[in-house]
Amino acid sequence: MSVGSDLELAAVLRRIVEGARELSGARFAALGVLDPTHTHMVEFITVGLDDDQRARIGELPKGRGVLGLLIVDPKPIRLRDLSEHPDSFGFPPHHPPMKSFLGVPLYVRGEVFGNLYLTDTENQSGFSDVDEELVLGLATAAALAIDNARLHERAAELSLLADRERIGRELHDTVVQRLFATGLAMQGTIKLVDHPEAVKRLNQHIDDIDSTIREIRTAIFALEMGRSSGPSLRREVLDVVAQAARVLGFEPAVDLDGPIDTRVPTHAAGHLLAVLREALSNVARHSGATHVDVTVRVDGGLFLGVVDNGKGIERGLLEGGNGLRNIAHRAEELGGHAGVAPGAGGGTTLTWTVPLPGDTSG
């Protein structure tokens, strides 16, 4: 009842170790939590050692020697003297002496979750059959408590995901829509304004609203990323840009728009990242630019734009260099197209567009 009285997994595990120590009369007790491959321990919870003793021992065990026997063959082990076992490694410096030993596996839903280790019983002849049965009984009860704590954690995760989805939906359905309507109203107002400076300022404000809408959409998709533990194309794009910034000497501006992490297949994402690296490398080597805009957008298809303010490039040079040819071939391989041209105000504009599954826009 004590073991199962808490819903936090960390607290449950410590109660299990404390309960095993109390039931068996051991001086020291520990619980080693196994990694998903069941080859080594990723957590080692101890009772009986004070903070100073733990600090002097240093790194906690990973599951070698006698402790590793239960990992290889999860069956109870009882030893009167640890040092007499052929697999005993001995103890590291500053480790307190330990003699008698009892180890039992801890199963959760039919799989080994970890192992309970008990040492130095008050009984001079070592741990008894009764001690082993008591600890095995505790392990059975502990499995239920661990499973319950895991379910509680999963329920908390699902609740968090539900909150993320609700916040994203409210941002899209209220904030974005109101900003969009405000932008349209301002565009309509421009027709009623004759003063050139006022028209210029209104257009700037409309651009700011559009930029804010894109930023909110990016935040919405960042919230949605919490639903999946898979790779994030958004994050990988930002990593590529960050790496290029070291060579460029400045941080490119990045605009990410649309369901980039949910709509772009893995193979298309790989091509896009390769094209982005090549494009930024070309800017660093040839353009002399002091500013670069990177745009990745999913709106029907997948679009990448890299615009710099450098010395420019002659129209048609896309077919000249190997790097630019590779960019074009990557687009063609996915049924898309690429282009490079002088920018409207100088510099160079590279665009790379490919269709995505379900895109019927042609």
3-state class (DSSP) for residue 244: helix
Most confident range, picked from 22-36, 140-154, 278-292: 278-292
- Residue 185, H or E segment: helix 177-190
Beta bridge partners of 103: 77, 117
Q: pLDDT tens digits, residue range 182-214?
A: 888 898 899 888 899 999 999 899 888 888 887
Beta bridge partners of 34: 41
CA dist 216 and 105 (Å) reads 50
pLDDT at 74 over 60: yes
Q: How confident is the model at residue 267 (pLDDT cuts 50, 70, 90)?
A: very high
Q: Where in the chain is the domain with CATH 3.30.450.40?
A: 3-153
Going by DSSP bridges, is the β-strand pair 253-257/292-299 parallel, antiparallel, or unpaired? Answer: parallel
Most confident range, picked from 92-106, 143-157, 183-197: 183-197
Average pLDDT taken over every residue of the chain: 81
Q: Where in the chain is the domain with CATH 3.30.565.10?
A: 230-362
* pTM exceeds cut of 0.75: no
- Indicate the length of the chain as a whole number: 362
Q: Which fold has domain 230-362?
A: Heat Shock Protein 90 (3.30.565)
- Range with lowest mean pLDDT among 19-33, 62-76, 194-208, 335-349: 62-76
Percent of the chain with pLDDT over 90: 16
CA dist 236 and 272 (Å) reads 10
Beta bridge partners of 292: 308
Give the mean model confidence (pLDDT) for residues 299-303: 91
Architecture of domain 3-153: 2-Layer Sandwich (3.30)
Percent of the chain with pLDDT over 70: 86
Q: pLDDT tens digits, residue range 210-226?
A: 888 877 876 776 666 55
pLDDT at 354 over 80: yes
